[in-house]
Structure 1
């Protein structure tokens, strides 16, 4: 009697001898049967079973364990070993061609059904591991050129994907949440939606925003992950899905701030970006020459610099209450502006935790 596969789960398929035999060593008869069956029946559980078996055969046991009992995996490994032994007895290039053909087919199934591109088990990256656990179909963009590639997401957010980088997102992106996966480097201009935060999972970090512009560099072979904020604010925190990791507080980043996460030490280092940029022009400066001062109180100068760059500047207001500045700083960098201000009042400055601290100074 023919087996009724209509209500089989993926686990049921993987304990069925006819299904497993076809996946490991297809015949013309089994191929004809399954090609006809998938046309007329739901494919979700069948395709997941194909993906799970392909993952086990390629060595991705960790993914299989999220869906199958250990005993089922053990029995499948035995079947795979037996099939490999039989195929090794086939002479000439036929066996090699059969193996290459199977790997190619398995790779396509994994990329479409499970969401993983694979090389060897030792090379598995956090990006690959995350995609391997997805149960939904996803879209992946890969930049193989030597120029940034613009990608417009379904919510109209724009991503500039750098060379040698990958970006993936579920096909239902934006319907319930806005979640993307990054391997490499990209700059995000996120459409504001307070009801659906935008999450970027890149290596071990999660970057969460509502609407802003920021960049992430997270190559799997680099020891550090860098997140820089160009406008708005983002929170960056350690992915807590791995229970072996120590729970850590997130880091809040404002414009012109960055955080560098060192993967080896599992530590965050918050600072300013190397070249802070003007993010807004203060009201007074819109009506006059930018950063041009004539006996202007230092308190006003520091306020306008803070507003222009979005960077907090801490100083002793009482000590500098009588200080004034006469200087043209238009066109100068953030560091150059601070240097002129500090020389004028006889002070120095430090960058601590992504903000400026002015030390000393006295105009009394």
Structure 2
């Protein structure tokens, strides 16, 4: 291969570029990103950045020395609009195209929105640095914040807003937040909100927003409403695949890939939030850093020589509690608290299947969590 194009200039794209160079690719490397910014770290956006403890420069994932070593052409502020059916050229929004022998797709995902969200000021999603800058500025004059969605992003935003002294309400359509963890563990996550004066309303859907030029109320399915100066919508994401129409790539909840991140086109691989690898699409930081190694090796080899073999892992910081989870669990797995207690907000829980550990959750239990995580076998956590 003489030219490789990486579409997506966030963590997964940067990781792929690093792997290309470290695995011996010395040809032309083109990195295309729709944001104008160099790669930056997203997790702090909902935490330290909202609290004013970090600025854009603190989030940088690269420095000038590494940029020189990568020796890449950066096309930032440029959106990919299409991929030719053979996967040999990436079309751009400036009517140019990048012809390449290999393509790494790392376009991530975009936030879901609420109906009617676009016409009102004070309504935000949080995915990009520009999103975070706009939200942080809006919070300066706010008193009442409503967060729609009690997943990790929503919970982290609620935590940051509470730390700023704001009145926060979190709305969750499900009976409990993070219900996939089971009733007891979901209740542990829910209790953190109440511990810090945040109102959590579960089993409550949103039917609309009201206000003139700015949002003033969130209208709920039970006929009630919640007053708001700022609304943050955290109801999940959609993989960014619309630009691939007509490319020949198989798309189903992301770009369909084999266990080696290879797509239906032999010269194209996909990594990160946009990649559905072996039937599973994992939206976590670790996937964006671990999948590129496998994807790049297979791309350069021109065949499947390696499969992804890592145990999914993610973490979240909420209200001063570090929450960590690793593994893939099922509703019929048994779960046991093996250290600490839910009441003390410091514990370690382990999921077992046929007597074997398949998942571990820690609340402020980093050391014990690390030991248990290392004991999880990738083969027992198939997609």
Q: When the two structures are superposed, what TM-score results if normalisation uses the length of structure 1? A: 0.24
Q: When the two structures are superposed, what TM-score results if normalisation uses the length of structure 2? A: 0.23
- Larger gyration radius, structure 1 or structure 2: 1
Higher relative contact order (CA 8 A, sep 6+): 2
Q: Which has the higher helix share?
A: 1
